């Protein structure tokens, strides 16, 4: 991308997140345009809460999925779904007060707390009951269905949850919430999951004569970090979802990673190139305290090399050629690895590594203060 090359050329020692806001806006519009009328596209703020990203998406997406008061501050008013298994009292109050927030109920205890708070305030709590499905729905990276987790209420207890919720006049059951996986790469699996969620919701609606209007599928649309040229097939998903009869329910999608990952780049300079016990290492300015995802998932983050010809020293430039290289960061731990042995044509000290797909679960999930190194710059292409 020209803007990135230009940034690298004009910066002496690059270490930056670069966000392509133009590309991001187009991505969000394209995603929305392919979806059928019954779908509402929300952005899951946790994927990247950068204010410029939120500004770009506002006006394109139908709403935001938030998981804290901090995320509510960042999005401002407008349709929001508030999820998370540990909601604090002040957050519940605030969500009730703002009225444009629909709350996920994640447990019986949370339902009871909400019931009391809403009654006390004389307001109606609009809720989605969060379901942990009986069956595992994918072989995706992280699973939140069919396995014990801290999220939601297991499917077999949902009837009891509905019955209890119906006892509160101040609680309105708007529908069900099913977020169940992270980084699923297979559109057909996602469609099968959507069909299950719709069938279950319609059954509960009928069994309890509910006045529901929302079925929330959550997010989990994946990014193929291992084979970026084989991405999640969004178009196939969008076509398939059009065939589902939701009997008038809105189908909410809370996309995070799939929306922003490809529009963020982490760019950093190679400080050293060396060999150790038969392996080649390139050590960069920055590391997993800026981009923790590859360490968390024990993977090689996708990257390419931008060569720079300037070399300030009077001695030979260290380099590797046509071999596998490990790319490590500046921290004092052997776990500070961004790339765990990938082929490069050539990589020299002073070259720049561009980590692609770094726009989601990247900067904000990283342990920035470890070793007190400087933070990267944040640059926006508009």
Minimum CB separation of residue 220 from ligand PLP in Å reads 4
Q: What whole-number distance in Å separates Cα of residue 32 and Cα of residue 41? A: 6
Which is nearest to 342 in space by CA: 270, 290, 282, 266? Answer: 282
With CB under 6 A as the rule, give the number of residues binding ligand PLP. Answer: 16
CA-to-CA separations, 362 to 7, 110, 114, 279, 304, in angstroms, rounded: 20, 30, 33, 27, 17
3-class secondary-structure state, position 350: coil
Among 125, 185, 214, 255, binds ligand PLP (CB under 6 A): 255
**333 near 289, Cβ under 8 Å?**
no
Task: Mark 143-173 as b/e (b = at least 16 C-beta within 10 Å).
Answer: bbbbeeeebbbebeebeebbeebeebebbbb
Q: Does 221 bind ligand PLP (CB under 6 A)?
A: yes
Choosing from 31, 41, 47, 358, the residue that interacts with ligand PLP (CB under 6 A) is 47
Residue 25 found at the interface with ligand PLP (CB under 6 A): no
219 belongs to the binding site for ligand PLP (CB under 6 A): yes
**CB-count exposure of residue 369 (10 Å: 0-12, 13-18, 19+):** exposed
Per-residue binding letters, 81-120, with ligand PLP (x by CB under 6 A): --x-------------------------------------
Contact 210, 129 (CB under 8 A): no
Within 66-85, the residues that bind ligand PLP by CB under 6 A are 83
Sequence-distant (6+) residues with CB within 8 A of 36 are 238, 241, 242
Q: Which among 316, 223, 332 has a CA at the least distance from the CA of 283?
A: 332
Q: Binding to ligand PLP by residue 254, rule CB under 6 A?
A: yes
- Under rule CB under 6 A, residue 220 binds ligand PLP: yes
Per-residue contact string for residues 175-214; x = within reach of ligand PLP by CB under 6 A:
----x--x--------------------------------
Catalytic residue at 332? yes
> With respect to ligand PLP, which residue has the nearer C-beta, 168 or 258?
258
Q: How far is the CB of 133 from ligand PLP (least distance, A)?
A: 14
Cβ proximity to ligand PLP: between 83 and 294 the closer is 83
Residue pair 61/44 in contact (Cβ under 8 Å)? The answer is no
Alpha carbons 16 and 160: distance in angstroms, whole number: 51
Select from 63, 115, 152, 256 the one that contacts ligand PLP (CB under 6 A): 256
Assess 218 for contact with ligand PLP (CB under 6 A). Answer: yes
- Residue 216 DSSP SS3: strand
Among 65, 71, 110, 269, binds ligand PLP (CB under 6 A): 65
Contacting ligand PLP (CB under 6 A), which of 39, 41, 44, 114? 44
Spot the catalytic one: 39, 170, 174, 332: 332
* Of 24, 63, 56, nearest in space to 40 by CA: 63
So which residues are the catalytic ones? 332
State the residues that interact with ligand PLP by CB under 6 A. 44, 46-47, 65, 83, 179, 182, 218-221, 254-258
């Amino acid at each position: 991308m020209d803007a990135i090359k230009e940034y690298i050329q004009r910066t002496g020692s690059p270490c930056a997140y670069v966000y392509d806001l133009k590309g991001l806006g187009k991505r969000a519009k394209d995603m929305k345009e392919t979806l059928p009328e019954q779908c509402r596209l929300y952005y899951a703020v946790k994927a990247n809460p950068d204010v410029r990203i939120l500004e770009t998406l506002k006006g394109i997406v139908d709403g935001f999925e938030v998981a804290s008061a901090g995320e509510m501050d960042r999005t401002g008013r407008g349709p929001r779904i508030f999820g998370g298994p540990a909601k604090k009292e002040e957050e519940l109050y605030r969500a009730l007060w703002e009225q444009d927030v629909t709350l996920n109920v994640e447990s019986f205890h949370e339902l009871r707390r909400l019931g009391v708070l809403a009654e006390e305030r004389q307001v109606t709590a609009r809720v989605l009951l969060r379901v942990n499905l009986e069956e595992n729905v994918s072989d995706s990276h992280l699973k939140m269905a069919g396995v014990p987790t801290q999220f939601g209420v297991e499917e077999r207890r949902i009837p009891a949850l509905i019955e209890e919720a119906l006892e509160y006049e101040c609680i309105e059951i708007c529908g069900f919430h099913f977020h169940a996986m992270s980084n699923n790469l297979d559109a057909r699996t996602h469609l099968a999951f959507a069909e299950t969620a719709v069938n279950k919701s319609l059954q509960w609606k009928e069994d309890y004569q509910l006045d529901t209007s929302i079925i929330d599928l959550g997010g989990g649309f994946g990014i193929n970090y291992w084979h970026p040229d084989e991405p999640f097939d969004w178009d196939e998903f969008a076509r398939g979802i059009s065939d589902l009869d939701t009997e008038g329910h809105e189908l909410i999608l809370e996309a995070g990673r799939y929306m922003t990952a490809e529009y963020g780049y982490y760019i950093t300079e190679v400080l050293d190139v060396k060999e150790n016990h038969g392996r080649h290492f390139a050590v960069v300015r920055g590391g997993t305290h800026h981009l923790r995802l590859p360490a968390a998932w024990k993977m090689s983050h996708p990257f390419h090399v931008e060569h720079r010809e300037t070399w300030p020293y009077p001695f030979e430039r260290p380099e590797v050629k046509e071999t596998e290289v490990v790319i490590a960061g500046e921290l004092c731990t052997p776990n500070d690895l961004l790339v765990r042995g990938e082929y490069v044509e050539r990589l020299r000290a002073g070259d720049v590594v561009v980590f692609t797909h770094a726009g989601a679960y990247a900067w904000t999930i990283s342990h920035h203060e470890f070793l007190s190194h400087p933070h990267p710059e944040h640059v926006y292409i508009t």
